[in-house]
């Protein structure tokens, strides 16, 4: 993203100085406007957009420091570079104290000036980019994006509208692909916090040992590799909303720290002593069976109650059959537009096939199926052949009363092993090689799943989150 730079405002009562600054800056491609006094400078600022101000400390009339104070009051984000007569630490401190981002002592080399200006240009670009991204993130989520006319979805949208403007902590429980992330985003974008940051953390995607420092930050030297102080994502979200996705996967020790944070917004960075406080609204979500996780001592009950102030439960797609066609039509319209295949429609048989499926992957699975069909289909009509073969999922979710046909199996033992192997592989694939989730779905313990995988020679290379990562990361765990 390249954002064009507005000009630089240069305030100096010496004409020669303005001219020499102008020649250095314009040679580098910057645009510049000059003002001969602080008063004139303030006038320029009220009329146009600038990305920075360069001012001399000593000006006739209003001096540079007073000018700086006035600019800061009006435009707190605008970087100001102050030019002082001599390089004395006292003057430098004064300039910075008065709100200058940087200072230059006369005489200075053109490169020094250009370096300082480049830093301000970078800062301007970052600030603008952040604003744009923030606006886009808020735009991207809205109530209208949550599609569904079934009574439960209508009710859900109403609840989003009611709860969004409050500061209530929200817990979203639902199967994978039911729209938890959409709900969280809509809650933020309809809240009074919508102009502040919306920060999303996927607790399952960040290694357990690093999650605390990601959330709450760390001090320099807190652990091997902590070369600099790092602010936590909760600080980034100050004034806004933080969405803790997959909270069911958070370790118990971090759950305790999160509980404290939820009580009063206070936390300490990893390796730090200072107690910090922010104002953040928390939305948490998980697709795990949270009650089962509490029973198995994997999730703290007190944290559950703290999070569970308002609960959303987006229903699985199979429980709102009337939404299947509506959603399918919506995705068909979107994909046929973006893939440049206008006029695509479902054949009656394809519609039937969509309605007959169980949709274990919910709306995400439906969305992917439609995208694939639009890509594959060469005719104007989407035929059932262009939809995925829902066989594997159907077998996984509806116990088959027909004896499975296992080609190539000689004995009952072989056939059973082959069938078991297929089911385990399909479940692992579906849960992106997450052992805990696959075990949960198959209703066996992780230990038992591992044992079976060993027995059936299923490689565990692709498994996620099984053992904690080795090496220096372990150090973090002590903090």
User: Does 148 interact with ligand ATP (rule: CB under 6 A)?
Assistant: yes
Q: How far is the CB of 287 from ligand ATP (least distance, A)?
A: 4
Task: Please state the closest distance from residue 50 (CB atom) to ligand ATP, in A.
Answer: 41
> Could you say which of 287, 336, 427, 441 contacts ligand ATP (CB under 6 A)?
287
| Whether residue 107 has a cis bond before it, omega within 30° of 0 | yes
Q: Look up residue 409 and give its DSSP letter.
A: -
From ligand ATP, Mg ion, none, interface partner of 147 (C-beta below 5 to 8 A by class): ligand ATP
Q: How far is the CB of 71 from ligand ATP (least distance, A)?
A: 44
Task: Say if residues 284 and 194 touch (Cβ distance below 8 Å).
Answer: no
Question: Which residues contact residue 410 at a Cβ distance below 8 angstroms, ignoring those fewer than 6 apart?
Answer: none
- Please report, for residues 61, 185, 314, 363, the alpha-carbon distance to residue 317 in angstroms, rounded to integers and kept in the order given: 72, 20, 9, 7
CA 337 to chain CA mean position, Å:
27
**CA angle 383-352-156, nearest 5°?**
115
As measured in angstroms, the least distance from the Cβ of 361 to ligand ATP is 8
DSSP 8-state class, residue 249: G
By CB atoms closer than 10 A (0-12, 13-18, 19+), residue 194 is buried
Compute how many other C-beta atoms are within 10 angstroms of the C-beta atom of residue 31: 14
Minimum Å gap between C-beta 181 and Mg ion is: 4
Binding string to Mg ion for residues 153 to 192, with x set by CB under 5 A, is what?
A: ---------------------------xx-----------
Binding partner at 363 among Mg ion, ligand ATP, none, C-beta below 5 to 8 Å by kind = ligand ATP
Q: Which is nearer to ligand ATP, 230 or 430 (CB)?
A: 430
431 binds ligand ATP (CB under 6 A): no
Cβ atoms of 343 and 304 within 8 Å: the answer is: no
Q: Residues 362-391: x/- map of binding to ligand ATP (CB under 6 A)?
A: -xx--x------------------------
Name the segment binding ligand ATP (CB under 6 A); options: 120-128, 171-179, 295-303, 431-439.
Answer: 171-179
Nearest distance, CB of residue 136 and Mg ion, angstroms: 19
Q: Which is nearer to ligand ATP, 84 or 336 (CB)?
A: 336
DSSP string, 378-408: -SSEE-GGGS--THHHHHHHS---SPPP-TT
CB of 156 to ligand ATP, least distance (A): 8
Residues found near ligand ATP in the complex (CB under 6 A): 145-148, 174, 176-182, 287, 363-364, 367
Residues found near Mg ion in the complex (CB under 5 A): 180-181
């Amino acid at each position: 993203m390249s954002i064009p730079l507005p000009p630089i405002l240069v305030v100096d009562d010496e004409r020669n100085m303005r001219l020499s600054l102008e020649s250095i800056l314009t040679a580098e491609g910057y645009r510049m406007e000059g003002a001969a006094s602080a008063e004139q400078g303030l006038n320029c600022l009220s009329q146009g957009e600038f990305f920075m101000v360069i001012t001399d400390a000593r000006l006739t009339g209003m001096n540079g420091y007073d000018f700086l104070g006035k600019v800061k009051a009006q435009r707190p984000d605008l970087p100001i570079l102050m030019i002082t007569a001599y390089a004395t630490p006292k003057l430098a401190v004064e300039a910075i104290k008065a709100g200058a981002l940087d200072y230059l002592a006369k005489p200075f080399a053109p490169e020094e000036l250009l370096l300082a200006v480049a830093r301000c240009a970078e800062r301007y670009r970052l600030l603008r980019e952040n604003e744009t991204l923030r606006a886009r993130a808020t735009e991207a989520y809205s109530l209208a994006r949550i599609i569904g006319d079934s009574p439960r979805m209508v009710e859900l949208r109403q609840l989003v509208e009611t709860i969004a403007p409050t500061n209530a902590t929200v817990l979203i429980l639902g199967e994978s692909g039911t729209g938890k992330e959409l709900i969280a985003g809509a809650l933020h974008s309809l809240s009074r916090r919508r102009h502040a940051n919306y920060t999303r953390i996927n607790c399952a995607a960040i290694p357990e040992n690093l999650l605390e420092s990601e959330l709450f930050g760390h001090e320099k030297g807190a652990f091997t590799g902590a070369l600099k102080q790092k602010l936590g994502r909760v600080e980034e979200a100050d004034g806004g909303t933080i969405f803790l996705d997959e909270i069911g996967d958070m370790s118990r020790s971090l759950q305790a720290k999160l509980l404290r944070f939820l009580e009063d917004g206070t936390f300490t960075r990893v390796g730090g002593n200072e107690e910090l406080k922010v104002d953040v609204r928390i939305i948490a979500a998980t697709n795990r069976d949270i009650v089962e996780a509490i029973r198995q001592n994997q999730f703290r009950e007190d944290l559950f109650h703290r999070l569970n102030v308002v609960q959303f439960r987006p229903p699985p797609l199979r429980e709102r059959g009337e939404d299947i066609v509506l959603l399918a039509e919506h995705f068909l319209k979107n994909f046929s537009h973006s893939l440049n295949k206008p006029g695509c429609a479902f054949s009656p048989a394809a519609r039937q096939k969509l309605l007959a499926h169980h949709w274990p992957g919910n709306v995400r699975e439906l969305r992917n199926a439609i995208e694939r069909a639009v890509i594959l289909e060469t005719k104007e009509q989407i035929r059932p052949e262009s939809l995925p073969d829902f066989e594997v999922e159907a077998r996984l979710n509806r116990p088959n009363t027909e004896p499975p046909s296992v080609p190539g199996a000689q004995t009952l033992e072989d056939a059973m092993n082959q069938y078991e192997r297929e089911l385990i592989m399909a479940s692992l694939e579906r849960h992106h090689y997450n052992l805990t989730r696959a075990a949960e779905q198959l209703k066996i313990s992780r230990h038992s799943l591992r044992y079976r995988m060993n027995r059936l020679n299923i490689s565990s290379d692709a498994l996620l989150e099984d053992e904690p990562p080795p090496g220096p990361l372990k150090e973090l765990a002590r903090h």
